[in-house]
Each structure stands twice: as structure tokens, then as C-alpha cells.
Amino acid sequence: HIVRNWKVRWFVLLQDKLLYYKIEGGKKEPSPKGRILLDGCTITCPCLEYENRPLVIKLKTKTNTDYFLECCSREERDSWALDITGAIHAGHPVQVEDLHRKKNSFKLLENISLHHIVERMCDSGTGIKLTRNLEQGSRYKETFTGSSLVDWLISNSFAVSRFEAVTLASMLMEENFLKPVGARSTEATRYSDISEQFLDDSTALYMFAESSNKNTVSKQELQFNISELSGTIVKQGFLIKQGHKRKNWKVRRFVLRADPAFLHYYDPTKEENRPVGGFSLRGCLVSALEDNGVPAGVKGNVQGNLFKIITKKDIHYYIQASSKAERTQWIEAIKPLT
């Protein structure tokens, strides 16, 4: 508290307090060096006040005394934080039950806007810190590590666990807000399992994708997008689309336009009315898929009523309708525009 240095201490967690002992000759002394009363404490994990110390937990006591505790690994840090939080809320069984539910379950925030998260990440004051990094002789500007993004997502309450933060980061990559940089993180994108899409690792590098930076959109690209969206709306509605990288299924609002013929899809959880994807229908092939069995190229939970669109560039889109009648309506509306 007086000299702001770091010392090794042996910690013992009791029901209402955290004791710490001095280490002498590799053994702890019999009497504790000090104690932290947990009644009325608040805990911050991860604590980003020390940029170069991502394994720090912060405890603020009822008397506003700050304790900074550094662990040996992220797993150990999160385990200590969970147990200390449980001790703080020991007299409140509902909070303890909620704590364990969050630990053992996975649920993203409802109606979460990925665009909003990226805007927060880009904030010059409270956003994620961008640094220069060197990997295998290549120098990258304005990057961040996988583990630092996971810490940032948790500290900003976008996720309640590291698993959830990794899943959210994978979604940001899938929607082209982020991109992997260097061999370590790029190689991980080969896997379809969500737990392997994004690396919670201090050696894996990532950066903002150009599509998420409004300043990188050229005047020519902007005019092209306006041209795409200027066509007459022929049909629109909600369908379920399979992702290209992580083969999961997401609800999208599809808008079919003619003159020029384009099919765009929107994320219904985002406030801004901008498509998250789309393609020209010229030269496309559209067809219904059989409902008996899962066709090649389709993964995950398939309810049937599938149809496929193959673009002129040989990109395959798999889409589910809510009924056979709706599937037929979409196919009949798309075919004349191909």
C-alpha cells in the first residue's frame, strides 16, 4: 500500500475474509501478514488498470481500500475471482445461484448489436488498445491479441465468461468486423468448431477488418452500394441462412430487388438499416433441396424447406424457409432475375 511494488503472498480464502501470508524459505509463516474483509467488497476481473498485467484482480473494500492481486494464469485468475465473488455473496443465496448459472451456462446478451460493440472497441478512450506487433518477421500495425479482446469484452460486460467472450469474438470475425493477422490466428480459422475459431491467446493477433472502418470506404464503393440498393423491392421477409465460416444458422431479413437484381440480407438485431451481406443475382442458379436427409455442404440443425443459391462466382448460399409454400414463393421470385 505504501511502496507500490509486487510481492509473492500465500492466500487463503475463508467464508468472510481473504488471508495472506508472507513466504519465507519457500514456506508460509504461521501468522497471516494481513487480511481483506469481504463483506461489502466489490471485485473487478479482469482489471485493466495495469495494461501490462492482464492477470490482475482488483478488490475494493467497504472502506474504499484497493487491493490488486496478480495470478499466475488466466484460468487461475478466473477461478479465484469466481470463488471470491461467491464468498462476497455468501449471505445472498439467489446471487450465488445466479453466479453458478452464469459459470455453467452460455447465453449471449439478447438483441446484442455487434456494430455497437465494434464502435465501443474503436473508442479512443475506453476502447481496446491497439499496438504494433511482430510475428515471424512481419510487422503489423494497430493490432490486439486474442486474450486482450476477451478481457476487454468481459470488463465491458459484453460477456460473463471467457467461453462466452470467445464465442462473441468469433461472431465478430464471421460478420467481418475483425480479421486474424499472422499465421497463429489465421490457422485457427480453418476449424468449424466455435471454440477453435478465435484464440484466447496472448500470441494470436487480430485487427479491425476494413469493412468495419467507415473511413476506408471509398467514394466509388459507396456509389456502387447505393446502386445496388436502388432497385425496386420485389419481395422481402425473414429466412434462416447458414454462415460461410462457422456453419451455424441465423435469422436474417432478406430483401429481393430488381433493376438491378440483387438479394441483400440484414441482421434484425442491428439498429442501423444496412445490409450485412448481399450479391448480384445475374448468372445465379436457385433450386429447392430435398427434405429427406441433410444435403452435402449443410451442417447443424436443419428443419427442412431448404433451398440453395449458387452465384456466378460459385459461392453457395443455403437458406431455410418456414414452409414449403414460402420456399416456392422465394424461388419463383428469384428465378426471373437470374
d(CA 287, CA 279): 17
What is the DSSP secondary structure assignment for residue 292, as one 8-state letter? S
Q: Which long-range contacts (CB under 8 A, 24 or more apart) does 127-130 make?
A: 128/152, 129/51, 130/207
Q: How far apart are CA 231 and CA 216, in angstroms?
A: 25
Q: Alpha-carbon distance 118 to 140, whole Å?
A: 20
Task: In whole angstroms, give the CA distance from residue 295 to residue 83.
Answer: 47
- Answer yes or no: are the C-beta atoms of 278 and 228 closer than 8 Å: yes
pLDDT computed for residue 11 by the predictor:
92
Distances (CA, A) of 248 to 105, 241, 268, 319: 19, 8, 16, 11
Provide the CATH topology of domain 226-335. PH-domain like (2.30.29)
Look at residue 337 in the predicted model and tell me its pLDDT: 93
pLDDT at 169: 87
Yes or no: say if 241 and 319 are a contact pair by the CB < 8 Å rule: yes
The stretches in the chain having pLDDT less than 50 are: 96, 102-108, 110, 192, 194, 211-224
The whole-number pLDDT of residue 105 equals 45
> What does the alpha-carbon distance between residue 76 and residue 54 come to, in Å, rounded to a whole number?
12
Q: HSE on the CB side for 251, CA within 13 Å? A: 7
What is the gyration radius of the CA atoms in the chain, in angstroms?
Answer: 25
Q: How many Å apart are CA 108 and CA 287, to the nearest integer?
A: 34
Domain boundaries, the chain: 9-103, 114-208, 226-335
Architecture (CATH level 2) of domain 114-208: Orthogonal Bundle (1.10)
Summarised one tens digit per residue, pLDDT across range 149-180 is 999 998 888 888 888 888 888 878 776 788 88
What is the C-alpha to C-alpha distance for residues 225 and 98, in angstroms, rounded to an integer? 46
Residue 159 CA to residue 174 CA, distance in Å, equals 18
CA separation, residue 193 to residues 47, 185, 189, 248 (Å): 29, 14, 9, 10
Same fold? 9-103, 114-208:
no
Residue 125's Cα: distance from chain center in Å?
21
Asked whether 61 and 36 are in contact (CB, 8 A), the reply is yes
The domain 9-103: what is its CATH number?
2.30.29.30
Burial (CB count <10 Å: 0-12, 13-18, 19+), residue 130:
middle
| Cell of residue 55, nine digits | 492477470
pTM exceeds cut of 0.75: no
What is the spatial distance between Cα 317 and Cα 256, in angstroms, rounded to a whole number?
15
In this prediction, residue 258 carries a pLDDT of 92
